[in-house]
Amino acid sequence: MNVVIVGGGIAGVSTAAALRAGGFDGDLTLVDAGEFPYDRPPLSKDYLTGAKDLGRIALQPPQWYDEQAVRLINRTRVTGLRPGGVELQDGTLLPADRVVLATGGGAARPPIPGCERAHVLRTAEDADRLRAVLRPGARVLVVGAGLIGAEVASSAVDLGCEVVLADPVARPLAAAVGAELAAWLHERHAVRGITTVQAGVESFEDGAVLAGGREEFDAVVLGVGMVPETALAEAAGLRVDRRIVVNTGQVTSNPAILAVGDSARSRDGHWEAAQHDGARAAATILGAPPPPPAAPWFWTDRHGRHVEAVGHMAQADRTVLRGSFADPAFSVFGLRDGLVVAAAAVDDPNAVRAARRMIDRRIPADPARLGDPAVNLRTLLRP
Amino acid sequence: MTDGIRVAALDDVPEGEGIAIDKAIIGTEDNVALLRDTDGGLWALNDTCTHEDASLADGWVEDGYVECPLHSSKFCLKNGEVQGLPATRDTCPHRVEVRDGEVYLFPNQTP
C-alpha cells in the first residue's frame, strides 16, 4: 500500500510516526513545502528571539526519515488530488492508495484597511521577517492577546521592544483557563511594561487606528486566529465546512482520503490534538482500534511563566484554587457534578498531569483535598 | 566503583516521583534523575529533557515512563528511549541498585 501525507506539521509527521509504530510496511511519502518539518510552538518563543535556530526545532532529526523509511519530498507543494495519487507542482504524479491531508492553516487577516501589511506568525519565514523588525527600541503593536499574540508580545519585550497589545476581550483565554486566571495572566503583560489596550483596530493605514486615535508603529503583528487550508480538499470535491469534514477515524467524504490537524479538526485543540489526529488516522489505515479519547491540553510560555491547561474550563460549575495567585506555582481546577472537567496551572505542570488523568479516567475528587497544596495529587488518583 | 555510589535512601524517592542527583557528586555529564515508578521500581536517567531545559526529576512517573514537566515528552524508565514528541532523542539510562534501603548509582552503566 502507498500512503502519501500532504503537509509536514505535527499532524502529518505524527501520522507517519504512528503508521510505522503500528507496523505499517508499505510505501510512505511525506510532502512538505518547507526545508524540513519543524515544530511550530517555538516560532513565537525561542525561534523568534533567536535562542534556537531552525535545525533545533526540527520535528524529527534528519536520519529519522531514513530509519523509518519515510520518503520526504521537501520544498514542494501538492497541486491536486488525482484518482490514484497526488500531483506535485512540477507535474509529477505520486501514486497513493491513501492520502492524508495535513495541510494546516494560514493566519487569519481580518478585512481591515492595511491589514495585508501586518506581520503574521505561522511559518519560520514569517518569524524570520518579524524577527528582523523586533529590534531594541522598536515600537510594536500586537493585535490579539490569545496564545500567539501573548507569546509574541513577551518575546518582543525580551528583545527590547516597546509593545502595545490590543484585544477587544478583557480577559483573553477565559474560556480555556477560567476568568480569574485569565485576568491574572493578562495583567502579567503590564507588569512587564507592555501597554494593554482593550480595543480592536479600525485601520492599519499609516500606523494603526486604536481606540485612542492613530498611533505610529515600527511593526504590527496579527495574532487573531487561523484559517484552515482546505483548497486541495475543495478542489477534489471533498465535503468542507470551514474545515475538512472527517469522521471519528479522520476519513473525509472520500474513503481514500483522510485529513488531520488544523485543516480537519472539528473540535478545539492545539499541538497535542493534531498529534492525536495523526494517531487516529494511522489506526484507520492500519485497521487497528482507535486510541482512547483524551482531554484537550495545551501549554503557553510567556514572561518566564509556564502555563498549562487541560479539559474544558467552560464546562465547570465551580472552581477550586490550589495555592494562591501570589505563589510561585499554583493551579485552578474546574469541577462539574463532583468530577474534574478542567485544570489550569502556572508553573505547576504536574497538577495538570494529575487533572488530565482524573478527567480521562473519570475519577471523583474531593474539592477540599484538591485545593490543599499539602495533599499530593497523585494520592487522589488511587482508588 | 564496583559497589556504586550511595546517592540516596530509597525513602527519599516517593512513588511516582523523582529526585535529582547533582552531577558534581557523581561525576556525570548531566544531573541524574532518580525516578520511582508506580510499581515501586527505581530507575535513573539523565535529568535534562533532550527537548528543552527541564528536569525529568520534576516529571510525572507512571507505568514505566517519565513525562517531562514542560512539554510532556515521554521517556522509557528502563532504557531512556524517547516515546513521544516533542523530544526526538533518547536520554541516557544509568544502573541503580537498592541495598538495605539505600540507593547506589552506577554512572553510565547500562541497567
Does residue A297 lie within any of the structural domains?
no
Segment holding A228, helix H or strand E: strand A226-228
Annotated domain spans of chain B: 5-106
pLDDT of residue B109: 87
CA A61 to chain centre: 21
Q: How far is A48 from chain B (nearest CA, A)?
A: 16
Backbone angles phi, psi at A329, to 5 degrees: -140, 140
Does residue A298 lie within any of the structural domains?
no
CATH number at residue A333: 3.30.390.30
Does residue A294 lie within any of the structural domains?
no
CATH number at residue A240: 3.50.50.60
A272 touches chain B (CB under 8 A): yes
Number of domains, chain A: 3
Whether residue B58 and residue A350 make contact (CB cut-off 8 A), yes or no, is yes
Set of cell numbers at residue A250? 479522520
Dist CA B95 CA A201 (whole Å): 59
Q: Point out the domain boundary residue: A222, A243, A277.
A: A222
Query: What's the domain range around A24?
Result: 2-104+229-286
- Over residues A50-65, the pLDDT tens digits come to 999 999 999 999 999 9
Angle at alpha carbon of residue A8, lines to A153 and A284, rounded to 5°: 120
Whether residue B60 and residue A60 make contact (CB cut-off 8 A), yes or no, is no
pLDDT > 90: percent of chain A: 93
Rounded to two decimals, the ipTM of the complex is 0.90
Same domain, A154 and A180: yes
| pTM across the whole model | 0.94
Whether residue A350 and residue B88 make contact (CB cut-off 8 A), yes or no, is no
Whether residue B85 and residue A59 make contact (CB cut-off 8 A), yes or no, is yes
Same domain, A69 and A53: yes
Given B16, B69, B88, which is nearest A349 (Cβ)? B69
Q: Which 3 state secondary structure label does DSSP give A80?
A: strand
Same domain, A322 and A375: yes
Residue A98 has, within 13 A of its CA and on its CB side, a CA count of: 24
- Over residues A225-245, the pLDDT tens digits come to 999 999 999 999 999 999 999
Q: What residues contact residue A359 under an 8 Å CB cut-off, 6+ apart?
A: A295, A310, A311, A339, A340, A341, A342
Residues A142-171: b if buried by 16+ CB within 10 A, e if exposed: bbbbbbbbbbbbbbbbbbebbbbbbbeeeb
Does residue A98 lie within any of the structural domains?
yes
B70 touches chain A (CB under 8 A): yes
Dist CA A278 CA A288 (whole Å): 13
Does residue A292 lie within any of the structural domains?
no
Does residue A362 lie within any of the structural domains?
yes
Q: Which 3 state secondary structure label does DSSP give B19?
A: strand
Specify whether domain B5-106 bears CATH 3.40.50.1220.
no
Helix crossing, A271-286 with A10-21: angle to 10°?
A: 40
- Over residues A97-121, the pLDDT tens digits come to 999 999 999 999 999 999 999 999 9
Residue A203 has, within 13 A of its CA and on its CB side, a CA count of: 10
Question: Which residue does chain B place closest to A279, by CA atoms?
Answer: B84
Q: Which 3 state secondary structure label does DSSP give B83?
A: strand
Dist CA A175 CA A359 (whole Å): 17
